[in-house]
Amino acid sequence: MRQWYVVHCRVNSEQRAETNLVRQNYEVWLPMYHKTRRHARRVESVPRPLFPRYLFVRLDLSSQTWRPILSTYGVHTMVSGADGPLAIGGDIIEALRARAGADGVFEIARRAIKPGDSVRVQGGPMADLEGIFEAELDSDRVLILLKLMGREVRVSVAGGDVEPI
């Protein structure tokens, strides 16, 4: 019976591992999303793995060998137990695939806060301070302008700690 297994990839090698596993006739799924990247005064949308360093392979362990996966370029290891690779529920993969768009790429919801909106910091060392939302950073952090000691100070805080006023 064919089941899904998790492959742990080397850093930034998910697509390389996917390509090489497909060449070996394995059924592979690498969930992706579009990330906005700013570089050299350009803004572009680039595909990135939804689960960095992981992809999924569908195998039938009774008829397919799984050990060649371990020596595939881009693969670090498989999520395994004492008896070999650990299967994950097919219903989990099907639920994930159902949430992906028509092109198989996930659409990540953006914040409802726009630059210039008034926000309040809910947690952390800046809790209960109010400021102006400036930008969303690459990670889960945002830039806000706070009035501290009579002047505006640009502060980076966790995105989950900020809510609109």
Instruction: Sketch the domain layout of the chain as residue ranges.
Output: 3-106, 118-164
Superfamily (CATH) of domain 3-106: NusG, N-terminal domain (3.30.70.940)
Please tell me the class of the 118-164 domain: mainly beta
What is the reported pLDDT for 34? 86
Q: Which pLDDT tens digit goes with each residue over 84-131?
A: 999 999 899 999 999 998 888 988 776 678 889 999 998 888 888 999
What is the reported pLDDT for 17? 98
What is the reported pLDDT for 29? 96
Non-local (6+) Cβ contacts of 44 within 8 A are 36, 37
pTM above 0.75, yes or no: no
**Which H or E run contains 69?**
helix 67-70
Maximum Cα interatomic distance, the chain, rounded to a whole number of Å:
71
Distances (CA, A) of 137 to 40, 115, 165: 16, 12, 20
What is the reported pLDDT for 138? 63
CB atoms under 10 Å from CB of 55, counted, come to 24
33 SS3 class: strand
List of the chain residues with pLDDT < 70: 110-111, 138-139
Give pairs for 151-159: CB < 8 Å, separation 24+.
155/126, 155/131, 157/121, 157/124, 157/126, 158/123, 158/124, 159/111
What is the reported pLDDT for 44? 83
